Amino acid sequence: MSTFTPTERTQVRRLPKRGAYDRETVFKILDEAFVCHVGFVVDGQPYVIPTNYGRAGEILYLHGSAASRMLRTLSEGIPVCVTVTLVDGLVLARSAFHHSANYRSVVILGTARLVTEPAEKMEALRLFTEHIMKGRWEQIRWPNEQEIKGTTVLALPIEEVSAKVRTGGPIDDEADYELPIWAGVLPLPVTPAAPVPDARLKAGIAAPENVARYSRADGSKQ
């Protein structure tokens, strides 16, 4: 199927016309963003932790230190909510009330499983690296046994999920269109600056093409 089936928990209710459930929209947002926020509850206390991630098909991979309390807790199968947001622009209206932002967001609900199979774990580590920089995995030293052992990887199925998207300009009250106030959208593209070499970089090593001409919008997904 090309579309996820919305559930009682993922159906967009506030401004439902902004809701999206097709795989193309969901995956494009996940592949362009860098950081997700992981929400869960332990002993009645909510936590929301920012972290990086990677995606393979309909699985979202989370990773971190084997000592991570978040990952240890999630590996026990408690419910988790993962959100991702891209801010594309500031929507500046004529009134304070109608100011907004153009954005693309995804919410994933479910439970994560601990990845123990060595090949899947290594593939997840590759995905994390490629999510940051497409083509980087083949340019670097791969994780050794000790590094793999010290890393926990969780797999979260992308099944109960929805996206929400806002585009376009401000929507003012009709009377306010006559006010002498500038209104419109201020785009906020991700524009990388020139690469800064490491202080201990050996002489004669130039930044590879994927670093020198990096663009998030053209897709980090291989």
**Residue 222, pLDDT above cutoff 90:** no
Structural domains of the chain sorted by starting position, each given as residue range(s) with its CATH number in brackets: 16-189 (2.30.110.10)
The burial class, CB within 10 Å (0-12 / 13-18 / 19+), for 158 is buried
Given this model, what pLDDT does residue 220 score?
41
Rounded to an integer, the average pLDDT of 4-11 is: 90
Given this model, what pLDDT does residue 216 score?
79
Give the whole-angstrom CA distance, residue 101 versus residue 92: 8
- This prediction has a pTM of 0.91
Give the whole-angstrom CA distance, residue 3 versus residue 24: 8
Give the whole-angstrom CA distance, residue 152 versus residue 10: 28
Give the whole-angstrom CA distance, residue 57 versus residue 153: 16
Given this model, what pLDDT does residue 218 score?
52
Give the whole-angstrom CA distance, residue 80 versus residue 166: 25
Query: Which residues, 6 or more positions from 36, have their beta carbon under 8 angstroms from its beta carbon?
Result: 50, 51, 52, 53, 60, 62, 82, 83, 84
Note the pLDDT tens digit of each residue in 119-134: 999 999 999 999 999 9
Query: Which residues, 6 or more positions from 5, have their beta carbon under 8 angstroms from its beta carbon?
Result: 21
**Residue 54, pLDDT above cutoff 90:** yes
